Amino acid sequence: MENALDLLALQPPGWGGNLLRGLLSTIQIALGAYALGLCIGFCGALGKLYGGPVLRWSLEFYTTLIRAVPELILILLLYYAGTDLLNTVRGSMGWDRVDIDGLWAGIYVIGFVQGAYSTEVFRGAMRAVSNDQVEAAKSVGMSPVMMHRRIIIPLMLPFALPGLANLWLITTKDTALLAVVGFSELALETRQAAGATKEYLLFFLAAGTLYLLLTLVSNLLFGLLEKRLRRGEARVT
Question: Which residue from 5, 69, 146, 205 is in contact with another protein, where contact means CB under 8 A?
Answer: 146
Shortest distance, CB of residue 221 to another protein, whole angstroms?
A: 20
Nearest distance from residue 137's CB to another protein, in Å?
Answer: 8
**From 59, 78, 113, 137, residue interacting with another protein (rule: CB under 8 A):** 137
Nearest approach in angstroms of CB 230 to another protein is: 9
Helix axis angle, 102-128 to 53-68, nearest 10°: 120
232 binds another protein, rule: CB under 8 A: yes
Q: Find the distance separating the first CA and the last CA of the chain, reported in whole Å.
A: 45
The length of the chain is: 237
Residue 142 lies near another protein (rule: CB under 8 A): yes
* Least CB distance to another protein at residue 53 (A): 13
Task: Return the residue of 1, 93, 140, 201 that touches another protein, per CB under 8 A.
Answer: 140
Q: Is the peptide bond before 13 cis (omega within 30 degrees of 0)?
A: yes
Q: Is residue 141 a contact residue for another protein (CB under 8 A)?
A: yes
Within 8 A by CB and 6+ apart from 204, the residues are: 190, 194
Cβ neighbourhood burial of 125 (10 Å; 0-12, 13-18, 19+): buried
DSSP letters, 177-218, are GGGGGT--SHHHHHHHHHHHH--HHHHHHHHHHHHHHHHHHH
214 binding another protein? (CB under 8 A)? no
**Is residue 236 near another protein by the rule CB under 8 A?**
no
Over the window 151 to 180, marking each residue x when it contacts another protein by CB under 8 A and - when it does not, the resulting string is: x--xx-------------------------
What gap in Å lies between CA 156 and CA 167, rounded to an integer?
17
Region 106-125 residues binding another protein, contact defined as CB under 8 A? none
Q: Which of 12, 99, 231, 237 binds another protein (CB under 8 A)?
A: 231
| Residue nearer to another protein on the CB measure, 86 or 229 | 229
Residue 30 binds to another protein (criterion: CB under 8 A)? no
* Helix extents (H) in the chain: 2-8, 16-50, 53-68, 71-76, 82-92, 102-128, 131-139, 144-147, 153-174, 186-197, 200-229
List residues near another protein by CB under 8 A.
132-133, 135-143, 146, 150-151, 154-155, 229, 231-234
